[in-house]
Chain A
Amino acid sequence: MSKTYNLTTPLTEEQTRELRAGDIVYLSGVIYTARDAAHKRLVDLIEAGEELPFDLEGSVIYFVGPTPPKPGDPIGSAGPTTSYRMDSYSPTMLKHGSKGMIGKGKRNQDVKDACKEYGGIYFGATGGAGALLGKQIKSAEIIAYPELGPEAVRKLEVENFPVTVINDTYGADLYQMGREQYEVK
């Protein structure tokens, strides 16, 4: 049976090992945005042994490229982008301390294995709900790669940001479980 949790970042391995695929989590605290181009740069820095623009330990990375904010707003619409494009980078991020990712869509086996090994969680947010999700973001600040525009790395402060555990630290996958339950053969 699915449980509901309220968690504040940074996440600890003790917290992530509690979670199971299908659980609903309301996240609060700081999360960081990165898409394809930013991931490439972050992983290049890790491999070169250089300092990152933020502390990876316990961090949650949100795969998002928001719309420009309207005057007076911290951010525009900000729903998840499709995650598989980050599959080649995510295991390195998890190995170096990151504990969570927020996106939408399937991950490959390497990412699922890295979640098991390093205690990471892949959370799904509702794709196409950018207006609703953007409202849970209380502040946004570009902390690296402003030249990437929507793909720049942003530090976001979120409150009760609604996500669902897709891949847990035990190898379970909500997409597979859900589909098997409703598939008519």
Chain B
Amino acid sequence: MRVIEFNDVVKAVRDIIVHCGTDLPQDAYDALKQAMEEEKSPVSKEVLKQILENADIAKDEKRPLCQDTGLAVFFVKVGDEVKVNGGLLKDAINKGTEQGYTDAYLRASTCEPFSRANLKDKVGYNLPAIIHFDIVAGDKIDIEYAAKGGGSENVSRATVFPPAAGKDGIVEYVKEVISNAGPNPCPPITVGVGIGGTFEKAAISSKHALFRTLGTHNEDPEMDELEQRILKEINNLGIGAMGMGGTKTALAVHIEANPCHIASLPVSVNVQCHSSRHTHITI
């Protein structure tokens, strides 16, 4: 059994949060640069230039990329041969989150659902983090992290279709969700699509799909084809960067598909803004 110290996890989590707040990951930067080069609308092209300039300033001056520094979302794979010494893994992730958000002057954006009171004085600065755990073989802890903003989360949707809806039904649904969202989620967006499983499995899969590196293909050729089909349909909507009109509404569509009930075809659409702040570490 490998032993990892509680404080080592705290420090690792703190460091990725600080880094992600100001440094746009290379995959997102490259995808935006390519979109800027290919965009046909001069207005959207200008917006994309501003977005890239913003990323340069944020990196050079260590300023948050966006004032919405998100809720901290984690997908954590815990090896069955590893033990955290000195406390619970969940507590270490939350502590690292609080330290990272505080040290990098990121915004505390968590609040109570109805009073809207900020939770920083009650449970901690931008806590609790949203953590999805899985147990795997091995002696490592694998942590995927994203800072998830509210504007793109607000336009995300999920539903359960009857099986007959098929691929056409899913394509139409995703198109409708993105069309209704228009400029609001800060395009050019990444679209995570969770298919199958149960209602909540589809939603979690659509979130996890957003963590995939931009510019990579789906390993399943059938899903890869469906991703390209949906991407084309979305870019035909003409929404463009920040909704100003243009040919680059989405940078990518990422699908995660699961087996599902014989009676159901769940589908969830989770939208990520252009500031796709995500990273991955293994401890």
Contacts and interface: CB of A to CB of B under 8 A. Distances in A.
| A and B co-occur in one complex | yes
Given A106-B182, A128-B275, A150-B107, A134 B244 contact: no
A177 B41 CA distance: 12
A37 B116 CA distance: 9
Interface string B90-106: 00000000000000011
Interface stretch (B3-11, B50-58, B203-211, B259-267): B50-58
A69 B41 CA distance: 35
A67 B243 contact: no
A9 interface: no
B51 A129 contact: yes
Contact of B107 (A22, A65, A178, A185): A65
Nearest to A125: B242
B210 to A, nearest CB: 15
B40 interface: yes
Nearest to A185: B236
Given A128-B51, A128-B275, A129-B50, A179 B186 contact: no
A77 B40 contact: no
Interface in B114-166: 116, 118, 120, 149-151, 154
Contacts of B194: none
A68 B109 CA distance: 12
Given A178-B245, A182-B40, A182-B240, A76 B54 contact: no
A68 B51 CA distance: 21
Nearest to B239: A179
Contact of B67 (A77, A84, A179): A77
A64 interface: yes
Nearest to A75: B67
B274 A128 contact: yes
Using C-beta atoms within 8 Å of the partner chain, give the interface range for chain A.
Answer: 35 or more
Contacts, number: 164
Nearest to B184: A105
Given A126-B50, A128-B273, A149 B108 contact: yes
B50 A175 contact: no
Nearest to B273: A128
Interface in A98-144: 104-106, 124, 126-135
B251 to A, nearest CB: 13
Nearest to B49: A126
Nearest to A22: B43
Contacts of A177: 245
A81 interface: yes
B192 interface: no
B57 A178 contact: no
Given A77-B64, A179-B239, A129 B40 contact: no
Given A67-B105, A129-B50, A174-B245, 4 more contacts: A106-B184, A178-B246, A179-B238, A179-B245
Interface of A: 2, 22, 36-37, 64-70, 76-79, 81-82, 84, 104-106, 124, 126-135, 149-150, 162, 164, 174-175, 177-185
6 contacts: A22-B43, A66-B67, A124-B243, A131-B22, A131-B65, A132-B53
7 nearest A-B pairs in the assembled complex, by CB-CB distance: A178-B245, A183-B238, A182-B238, A105-B184, A184-B236, A131-B58, A129-B54
